[in-house]
A and B are shown apart, each in its own frame.
Chain A
Amino acid sequence: MDYILSLLVFFPAVAAVLGFIVDRDNIKVYAITVAAIEFVISLILWMAYDPTNPGFQFTEYLPLVPAYGINYYLGVDGISLFLVVLSTFITLIGFISLTVEDNLKNMLISLLFLEMTMVGVFVALDAVLFYIFWELSLVPMLYIIGYWGSELRIYAAIKFFLYTFFGSLIMLVGMLFLAYLYYMATGTISFSIPDWHRLVLPFDYQVWLFLAFFLGMAIKVPMFPFHTWLPYAHGQAPTIGSVILAAVLLKMGTYGFVRFSLPIFPDASIALITPIAFLAIIMVIYTAMVAYAQEDMKQVIAYSSISHMGVIILGTFAMNVEGIAGSIFLMISHGIVSGALFMLVGNIYDRRHTKLLSEFGGLAKVMPKYATIFGIMVMASVGLPLTIGFVGEFLSLMGFYKISPSMTFLGGMSIILGAVYMLRLYKTTFFGPLTNEKNRNLPDLDGKELTSLIALTAVVIWLGINPNPVLKPINNSVESMLELMEKKAVTKEARELLHANTVKLEAK
């Protein structure tokens, strides 16, 4: 148990290296086995995790460059635990549903490397380690989009890489400066994130550092107006690339906000709530409109992701347990639902080699199973209660209501506009008469596709009905984070806001 996190991080990487010597014909079975073992390990981690302890668990510590405070430091808490499980789960499901034939071996090996970086980002407690995994995650994705993508793949891959890389470099400068400030305050350099959490910074430093981190995170999320790499990446990426990009890679950005921005710069975060919420509301409304205008199924879902990320940002910056826990839950649920939706689009693309909405219509008659699962995922995406999508959206908006009722109203437009573009997508694809002759004899989902989709559907319904196993650990860790923030806040406004940010009976 002591080394379970190292095992989780490096098992896929070692397996990937060994994958080079595996025979071409067996590589898929091999990869699925590896991903399944990895998923089981992450489940063991969840089982062994003590939900009553809000702190970091299973920590591992090994000095790397002690003179500069750089260490091999891993750990999970309630905030990161489920993102780890999500990463391993989506990778496994993605492998099962994989239909790529061309150069399959290289793809699977890159995906296993990608899995290492994803898990690494979420369990790293050392900023340098975090940064390494964060940047390394770009490389396999660059390769996947650039090699297996469609026509504009090189442009899309380069844009994805350079844009996010640019943001992360500024974040790196912020990290170095933060370590320097830590040195000034204590006399030793440290890149340890828990150390930084305890560091009290003056307000003006906080603002500049917040902005440096913000740029790195915001491009990754992606927040308006830094979002334009995403439609290209999704539009060109193969199905598996989109699934992992939407389900996990985007969550690195929002996770970064919770892990770094909020606890390290509480005053700056609180002072900047309004402009950030403003951007988040633009994301919610504007990208929902753009999603409505799309002619390509995949782009609808790509833009819908941005819209949902807007709600996550609102929840994160609600600065109360309800909102932040809700936003973390929404990260998980959006991962599951958008992953499933991209997979579903992939299924139809495999059959028709087109994703244009105008090519479809009346599919519900030809492919009833496909239509049913798509329908469930659409409902989860619009946040119907008793599906996974409701809990996070409800809690995020509820949390932000305490900060600003009017902004919550605008952010809540997500539940209307989400239904508008999703139902339009569903209607044009599945309803109406079957007009296109090419669709008449489409086969319904096969066993392989059903396996992965039914697993996702089961999670959607299970966590929709019983979200508490996930919410409880999140809740405890978020509560202790908020206590920490209140303790270290330097400005009066921040302290007052954090103090008053719970339910109190306001009797007259």
Chain B
Amino acid sequence: MEKYLYITLFAPLVGSLFAAMFGMKPKKLFVGIVASLLLFISFISAVILLVHVASTDEVVKAQLFDWITVGSLNIPFGFVADPVSTVMMVTVTLVSMLVHIYSIGYMEHDEGFNRFFSYLSAFVFSMLVLVMSDNFAGLFIGWEGVGLCSWLLIGFWYHKPDLSRDQNPSISPAWAANEAFIMNRIADLGMLIGLFIIYWHIGSLQYDVVFSHVNLFDISIITMMGIFLFIGAMGKSAQFPLHTWLADAMEGPTPVSALIHAATMVTAGVYLVVRSFPIYSQIPEIGLWIATLGAFVAVFAASMALVNTDLKRIIAYSTLSQLGYMFVAAGLGAYWVALFHLMTHAFFKALLFLGAGNVMHAMDDELNIFKMGGLYKVMKWTAAMMIIASLALAGIYPFAGFFSKDKILEVAFDSHHYILWFMLWVGAGMTAFYSFRLIMLVFFGEERYKKYGFHPHEAPWYMLAAMAPLALLAIVAGFFEHSFEEFVTTLLPEYHFHMEGITKVALIGLTTLIALSGIGLAVYKYSKGGFSEKWKENPIYKLLYNQYYIPQLYDKLFAQPYRELSQIAWKELDLRLVDATVDFIAGIIYATGFKSRVVQSGNLSKMLRWMVIGLLILLVLVVLYSPVR
């Protein structure tokens, strides 16, 4: 079985290196095909592993060689396929494979075609390292690797110039890429400190060693571990206050947004918390704090999606919001629910983004949804699949989101966190509203695009075919809930519900009710021409539209002062103070030498006089310090 583990892991790397060989050459179609084929191989072997692990309950482990061995630290390149990692592997390779195929069409006319596939496959490799490692350091390799690929792919169209925030809220792809990298680095420092704490207390970074010893420690130490690991998770999963990079990351090509910034990389934080459940289940207070932050982000991000006019940013905020839902489940100890929502969300959110990619193609990369409308007539398939994805996102039966998202609300209610439940409930309504606001504005109503001279067209068949499996999964994935639960709870703790049947039914009814009302409101309002223009003058609208002014605030609070302080540090401190002091001392020495040069005049009588003075000084010294007195 080790063989399949290595095939899953290294097939994408081979694809990436293969594509890299043609990185500086003009577009070669076979590069995309080969990369996709290798991803297919990787996916198949991941499925074989999943079936094997599920049928035999055996955990597959493999070690390549030792990476770092120093003192008592030993970090091997070790990989593990257990229920949690196989679920992640299958999800990651499946979505990646479909996105690869889709990209062959999406990047068709891009001159960086080969380079794109090299980066994209490298990302899949890093993500697999992240989920398959059997230790925290290996996870960190993948963690930073996906960060690097995200940087490369957000900045893929690096040649675009920097614009002001009014013209482009993300400034430029290169700027957004750097922002994402630096924000993640801030969180990574937290994560590294988490690793240091684990190492110095346990002496190992291997999951099995750490998790089997963790209950031996004082609760305060476990709390520290939990907090610092979660800081790392906050960066990758873009939780408040480190969330601003995710919306800006939409500057990358849309398949990248689908794969990295919706389905896989951003869920790494959730994966980390789920993976470290033996730590987090010891510290329910921190778990509650995580859940509270998650619920806050769920509502906070959804509120920004309500008013945005940018097709991709709306979906990005929606991703943020759904990540919040996952953290609520993980924080409250329902780890398998979090993982389940992670999986279903990967399917329908990737579908939504790929649909958005079709729309962008049709609209010559226009993103303003108010310039669209009525696209249903020309893009029936895309519209149908995006509606499926939106229904799943809104949590309507029988779509996947209904099963996974509803479970999270049930968990919140069942653990008596009614405020969290209420926030999530409101969030569900908002989700339904903004999803269908988008659908209505893009696909129905007046055909505003004609005014702007666009000639939309449906995407080619193979791009639609790449989306079809995701659409299917968005519909049916929910029905696997029980087998999924059974499978992953062989590793993860089970979550026991205490609710009576009637409460459960009532809850489901309430959630469905608000979701349907959200959809109803959106459909009703936007089929009648939408809200009046007066709304745009409303301060709340402005606040939401400007992302609560947080990017501007960060600019004023951190970026600008840092720039100015750096200037002061260089020009005032380093040049004026430190270096000037050195030169000053050197100047004094030089001046002293220059002044005392008169001593060496060469004049005999003067020299004799100096000699006498010197002799006298020596005599005085002898008298003062003489040992015999």
Residues of A within 8 A of B (CB): 162-163, 224-225, 227-229, 231, 286, 289-290, 292-294, 320-322, 325-326, 362, 364-365, 368-369, 372, 379, 382, 384-386, 390-391, 394-395, 397-398, 401-402, 405, 408-409, 412-413, 415-416, 419-420, 423-424, 427, 430-434, 465-468, 471-472, 474-475, 479, 502-508
Contact = CB atoms under 8 A, between A and B. Distances in A.
A364 B158 contact: yes
Contact of A503 (B23, B72, B563, B574): B72
Nearest to A401: B196
A100 B259 CA distance: 49
B159 A386 contact: no
B181 interface: yes
Interface in B24-73: 24, 65-73
Contacts of B67: 465-468
B244 to A, nearest CB: 16
Contacts of B23: 368, 372
A268 B161 CA distance: 55
Given A286-B569, A289-B569, A325-B71, A424 B218 contact: no
B185 A505 contact: no
Nearest to A430: B158
B203 A505 contact: yes
Contacts of A386: 141, 145
9 tightest A-B CB contacts, nearest first: A321-B71, A431-B174, A503-B203, A228-B579, A293-B566, A401-B196, A293-B570, A431-B158, A289-B566
Contact of B578 (A225, A322, A368, A434): A225
Contact of B218 (A290, A409, A508): A508
Interface stretch (B187-195, B305-313, B324-332): B187-195
B158 A412 contact: no
Contacts of B195: 398
B159 A432 contact: yes
A391 B173 CA distance: 30
18 contacts: A289-B569, A292-B563, A292-B566, A293-B569, A322-B71, A368-B24, A384-B148, A385-B137, A386-B145, A405-B197, A412-B192, A415-B192, A416-B182, A419-B182, A432-B161, A503-B201, A506-B217, A507-B217
Contacts of A401: 193, 196-197, 200
B114 to A, nearest CB: 12
Nearest to B73: A322
B586 interface: yes
Contact of B160 (A385, A433, A503): A433
Contacts of A504: 203
B217 A397 contact: no
Given A293-B569, A430-B158, A433-B161, A385 B144 contact: yes
Contacts of B216: 505, 507-508
B144 A384 contact: yes
A402 B571 CA distance: 36
B193 A409 contact: yes
A225 B585 CA distance: 14
Q: Is the interface of A mostly helix, strand, loop or mixed?
A: helix
B155 A290 contact: no
Nearest to B74: A468
Given A227-B578, A431-B159, A432-B172, 6 more contacts: A289-B570, A401-B196, A416-B189, A427-B178, A465-B67, A475-B70
Contacts of A427: 174-175, 178
Contacts of A390: 144
A419 B181 CA distance: 8
Pick from B24, B158, B578, B586 the residue with the most CB of A within 10 Å: B158
A50 to B, nearest CB: 17
Interface string B546-565: 00000000000000001101
A503 B200 contact: yes
A419 B185 contact: yes
A302 to B, nearest CB: 12
B159 A433 contact: yes
Contact of A408 (B73, B144, B181, B196): B196
Contacts of B202: 503, 505
A471 B70 contact: yes
B217 A432 contact: no
A420 B182 contact: yes
A395 B70 contact: yes
Nearest to B155: A431
A471 B178 contact: no
Nearest to B157: A431
B377 interface: no
A386 to B, nearest CB: 6
Contacts of A423: 178, 181-182
Nearest to B66: A468
B433 interface: no
Contacts of A412: 189, 192-193
Given A326-B70, A416-B186, A432-B158, A508 B217 contact: yes
B213 interface: yes
Contact of B71 (A420, A433, A502): A502
A502 B217 contact: no
A290 B217 contact: no
Contacts of B562: 289, 292, 420
A268 B513 CA distance: 72
B70 to A, nearest CB: 5
B269 to A, nearest CB: 18
B162 interface: yes
Given A225-B578, A228-B582, A432-B172, A320 B71 contact: yes
A224 to B, nearest CB: 8
Contacts of B586: 162
Nearest to A427: B174
B230 interface: no
B113 interface: no
Given A408-B196, A507-B216, A321 B70 contact: yes
Given A408-B193, A416-B189, A419-B182, A506 B70 contact: no
A43 B144 CA distance: 33
Contact of A290 (B69, B72, B161, B574): B574
A290 B576 CA distance: 13
Contacts of B581: 225
Nearest to B161: A433
Contacts of A229: 582
Nearest to B574: A290
Contacts of A163: 582
B68 A294 contact: no
A465 B66 CA distance: 10
Interface in B211-255: 213, 216-218, 221
B145 A409 contact: no
Nearest to B577: A225
Nearest to B582: A228
Interface string B464-485: 0000000000000000000000
A415 B188 CA distance: 8
Contact of B574 (A228, A382, A502): A228
B567 interface: yes
Given A365-B159, A413-B189, A395 B578 contact: no
B159 A290 contact: no
Pick from B65, B181, B192 the residue with the most CB of A within 10 Å: B192
A413 B573 CA distance: 20
Given A163-B582, A289-B566, A467-B68, A415 B203 contact: no
B289 interface: no
B199 interface: yes
Contacts of A472: 69
A348 B218 CA distance: 56
Contact of A398 (B173, B182, B199): B199
B123 interface: no
B566 A290 contact: yes
A366 to B, nearest CB: 11
Contacts of A405: 193, 196-197
Contact of A385 (B141, B162, B571): B141
